[in-house]
Amino acid sequence: MLILGISAYYHDSAACIVKDGRIIVAVEEERFSRIKHDNNFPYKAIDFCLKYAATTINEIDYAIYYEKPLLKFERILETFVETWPFSLTPFLKGIPEWLDYKIKIEATIKKLGFKKQIFFIPHHLSHAAACFYPSPFGKAAILTIDGVGEWQTTGLWKGEGNSIIPLKLLNFPDSLGLLYSTFTAHLGFKVNEDEYKLMGLAAYGKPMFVNKIHSIVNIKDDGSFKLNLKYLGFREGFSMYNKRFEELFGKARKPEEKITKRHADLASSIQQITEEIYFKTLNHLYSITKTDKLCLNGGVALNALANGKIYERTPFKKVYVFGAAGDSGAAIGSALYTHYVILSEGSESKNLAKRNKITNHYFGSEYSNEQIEPILKKYKLKYKKFKTEDELINKTAKLLSQGKIVGWFQGRSEFGPRALGNRSILCKPNPRNMKTKTNIIKRREQFRPFAGSILQEKVDEYFEVPEKNLWSPFMTFCFKVKKNKIKELAAIVHSDGTCRVQTVNQKNGLYYRLVKQFYSITGTPCILNTSFNLKGEPIVETPSQAIEDFFKTKIDYLVMGNFLVKRGLLNN
């Protein structure tokens, strides 16, 4: 049974193929188009998925779309009527696009040559499925929370067996994701792209504007809330905020303007409000599900700073956040829901009922040594080829221990927003100036922090985590660094004393072996890990893209497959 899952037209378009409930391949369109957060229909991603799975569109049994476009169109029309005449200009500009293709998903999929059945799964149900079915839990509370799907902005669910049961919901325009994005836009960052910058900036400020934010959002004890729409512009026009918002919080920052203390204080304030809503919602969810296992998904679930506090601020003891928590991951969720629910109804097949825990996100392209070497020669690079992986790991770990910065390109590319050790830029986690050097290489703002990849068996020695050997593979949690380890991890400790953590174990393959070898050399079981890309670019997908970024930066070494390239060395 082959199922093609698709997400498109909002942000982070993606495609996946699920075979008998197992994810065979999943990729985002941006990796091929090189347009960051590409929201176009994922023709290139679908083509790659079909080729990787060695199949054709005619052999796909079902095609699944991650939301119901007509229901979303209904919300747009109703919002236009409610906000007339202020919304006339954006409505007239946007409606041709919707009439053209956004409500013609079925026809678009059929253009690929697909002639079989197409299912449309509600947006938040796709999110719920994406985090519950790959989780290790047979029974769990589920929270989905983002900007907006069709109407829904927040969903409280209960997962049990293969069933996902809706409990409560919150609808547009009351949206925590859109509120957070309003502050993202006001502070001069890009909506649906730079929210994580706000999270990083929050550590440098104080929540001085919390009372003012409370004046535009009325929060109830169960986490539900109402927005004061007089201050918000996302219903009527192209701007997230309006003049009243600026009167309340100050003039909006232009992207090129210097970041001030006021900007950091605003970021800190909206982060605190977000956490207030988040934890009230989660505590209410616990009270109605009575389970201490939690699954999280949706764009807001990528707020790693809030996620790290769940264990101390709620009764939940086990928490699973799907690494690709945004819309790209919903392509997987829609396909999995189809497999476990729609196709399983009335079926006695054990294959349909059996769930498959996801332990990594290595679902993309991979390149063999035989494919990589001709590309190195094409670029006239001088390289060293290691005969064994052990030799390669020993050399790379030694270079990292010497303070070298390494572009690391191995195995299958990661699905989702985080590089998890296959398309990464790596360096040692100390001293502090390693952070500065790496931010310069990536051409990023210096206030932005880096994640740490740590051996899972050592995580509780370095971080304040809720349990020994905590499994946290997708960089979706920030935890406090233990005080006696701050100097040792100086380059990845953020201003608030936290670090975004990725635990690695044997299922991380070569990357685990690299971190372990680094530990044997230095005594530190952790390295700085950031995505292999420059500011404004998607993560590299191919050897050529990795080489191009290597040329553009001051990365010391490039490691691809069994090959090592040193900066400045070319064949004559």
| pLDDT value for 206 | 97
Q: How does DSSP classify residue 534? A: -
| pLDDT value for 569 | 60
pLDDT digits (tens, 9 = 90+) for 373-422: 999 999 999 999 999 999 999 999 999 999 999 999 999 999 999 999 99
pLDDT over threshold 80, residue 348:
no
pLDDT over threshold 80, residue 346:
no
| pLDDT value for 412 | 98
CB 242, CB 216: distance < 8 Å: no
Q: How does DSSP classify residue 241? A: B
pLDDT digits (tens, 9 = 90+) for 273-327: 999 999 999 999 999 999 999 999 999 999 999 999 999 999 999 999 999 999 9
Of 309, 299, 320, nearest to 279 by C-alpha is 309
Rg (CA), the chain: 23
| pLDDT value for 96 | 76
Greater model confidence, 572 or 540: 540
pLDDT digits (tens, 9 = 90+) for 81-137: 787 777 777 777 777 777 776 778 999 999 999 999 999 999 999 999 999 999 999
Q: What is the per-residue burial (b if ≥16 Cβ within 10 Å, else e) of 152-176?
A: bbbbbbbbeebebeeeeebebbbbb
Q: What does DSSP say about strands 217-219 and 139-145: parallel, antiparallel, or unpaired?
A: unpaired
Domains in the chain with CATH codes: 2-134+322-353 (3.30.420.40), 171-321 (3.30.420.40), 369-570 (3.90.870.20)
| pLDDT value for 82 | 82
pLDDT over threshold 50, residue 571:
no
CA–CA gap between residue 102 and residue 69 (Å, rounded): 7
Which helix H or strand E contains 394, and what residues bound it? helix 389-401
Greater model confidence, 79 or 171: 171
pLDDT digits (tens, 9 = 90+) for 446-501: 899 999 999 999 999 999 999 999 999 999 999 999 999 999 999 999 999 999 99
Give the residue-averaged pLDDT of 50-79: 93
**What's the token pair of residue 167?**
């409990």
CB 559, CB 392: distance < 8 Å: yes
CB 101, CB 314: distance < 8 Å: no
Give the residue-averaged pLDDT of 32-56: 97
Give the residue-averaged pLDDT of 319-346: 94
CA–CA gap between residue 185 and residue 194 (Å, rounded): 9
High-pLDDT (> 90) share of the chain, %: 87
Of 356, 514, 263, nearest to 20 by C-alpha is 356
| pLDDT value for 549 | 96
pTM exceeds cut of 0.75: yes
* Ranges 205-219, 232-246, 344-358, 491-505: which has the least confidence: 344-358
CA–CA gap between residue 335 and residue 70 (Å, rounded): 19
**What's the token pair of residue 277?**
């809503």
Helix and strand numbers (H, E) in the chain are: 21, 21
Mean pLDDT, the chain, rounded, equals: 94
| pLDDT value for 350 | 52
CA–CA gap between residue 459 and residue 482 (Å, rounded): 10
pLDDT over threshold 50, residue 344:
yes
CA angle 430, 418, 180 (to 5 degrees): 100
Give, in order, the Cα–Cα distances in Å from 398 to each of 346, 519, 558. 57, 10, 14
Give the residue-averaged pLDDT of 539-567: 96
Give the residue-averaged pLDDT of 15-22: 95
pLDDT over threshold 50, residue 572:
no
Q: What does DSSP say about strands 117-120 and 62-65: parallel, antiparallel, or unpaired?
A: parallel
